[in-house]
Structure 1
Amino acid sequence: MDDLASIRQVADHFELPVSTLHYWERRGLITPRRRSGRRHYTADQIYRIALIQLWRTTGRMTLDEITEILAERTDTPDWRDTVTARIAAIESQITQLTTARGYLRDLLTCPHDAAPEHCEGFRARITLPAAEHR
């Protein structure tokens, strides 16, 4: 049983508060082993913790999404559907961020004394509504 890592070791390794590991346990995401009443983690559980942390930080997944993916019940949707939806959301965010970066770069090319809404590069990206003819 020496291959078990204590909760403190795992928390320190992943730079997580111990309370986060307790919460993930209450949510059913991880299942530590108990030794003398203290939580310890197997290598498989540590990989699971790494995966959850990765999904939370870089995949920007909610705990509900992670729970759905990691559920071991047969009545949950295919976890690939959740991953596919997350990929689509990330791709949409990438598009939005790329557009925002373009606008901001255009603003940086403006003369320092010009108001941002008067910048030619910015104005070139904007479509104005058609004027009403009376």
Structure 2
Amino acid sequence: MDDLTPIRDVADRFGLPLSTLHYWERRGLVAPHRRSGRRYFDTEQVYRVALIKLWRETGHMSVDEIGTLLTRDDPAADWRQTVHTRIAALQDDIARLDAARSYLGHLLSCDHGHDLERCPDFRATVPLGDAP
């Protein structure tokens, strides 16, 4: 058996609360070993924790989406569709963040100073919603 790492050490290594690792275990994302009632993670499970954390933080994936990806051998789980859906959502996020970076950059260089609401260039980019 691989070297086993206590759950506290795994939590500290990844900056996670113990409750997160317990939750992931209840959801079937991780499967720590038990020894005298305590949880220990082997190398594969530590890797899985790193992977889940990466997907949560950079992919903004839900626990359900991650569960679908981790159970790719389940024919009922359409992991490819999950990935396509997540990519589309990330593309939408990127577009919104690009727009935010653009208008924030404009605000820093705008000649209207503190009276930004009156800047005609900025006003032209602000969506006013659908008229009734």
Contact 1:110 1:120 in 2 (8 A): no
1:45 Cα deviation (Å)? 0.7
Whole-Å Cα distance in 2 between the matches of residues 62 and 70 of structure 1? Answer: 12
| TM, length-normalised to structure 2 | 0.84
1:83 Cα deviation (Å)? 1.5
Contact 1:107 1:121 in 2 (8 A): no
Contact 1:5 1:40 in 2 (8 A): yes
Whole-Å Cα distance in 2 between the matches of residues 89 and 56 of structure 1? Answer: 14
Whole-Å Cα distance in 2 between the matches of residues 68 and 127 of structure 1? Answer: 37
Within 5 Å, which residues of 2 pair with 1:41-52?
A: 41-52=41-52
Contact 1:55 1:66 in 2 (8 A): yes
Contact 1:107 1:119 in 2 (8 A): no
RMSD: 2.0
1:95 Cα deviation (Å)? 0.8
**Structure 1: runs of 5 or more not aligned:** 129-134
Q: Percent identity?
A: 54
Q: Which amino acid aligns with 1:101?
A: R
Whole-Å Cα distance in 2 between the matches of residues 121 and 23 of structure 1? Answer: 49
1:92 Cα deviation (Å)? 1.1
**Structure 2: runs of 5 or more not aligned:** none
**Alpha-carbon spacing, 1:45–1:99, altered in 2? closer, same or farther (3 Å):** same
**Alpha-carbon spacing, 1:40–1:75, altered in 2? closer, same or farther (3 Å):** same
User: Which of 1 and 2 has greater Rg?
Assistant: 1
1:16 aligns with 2:19: no
Whole-Å Cα distance in 2 between the matches of residues 94 and 36 of structure 1? Answer: 47
Q: Which amino acid aligns with 2:45?
A: Q
1:118 aligns with 2:113: no
3-state SS, counterpart of residue 112 of structure 1: coil
CA deviation vs aligned residue, 1:40-62 (integer Å, no higher than 9, x gap): 11111111110111111111111
Query: What is the aligned residue count?
Result: 126
| TM, length-normalised to structure 1 | 0.83
Whole-Å Cα distance in 2 between the matches of residues 69 and 26 of structure 1? Answer: 17
1:100 aligns with 2:103: no
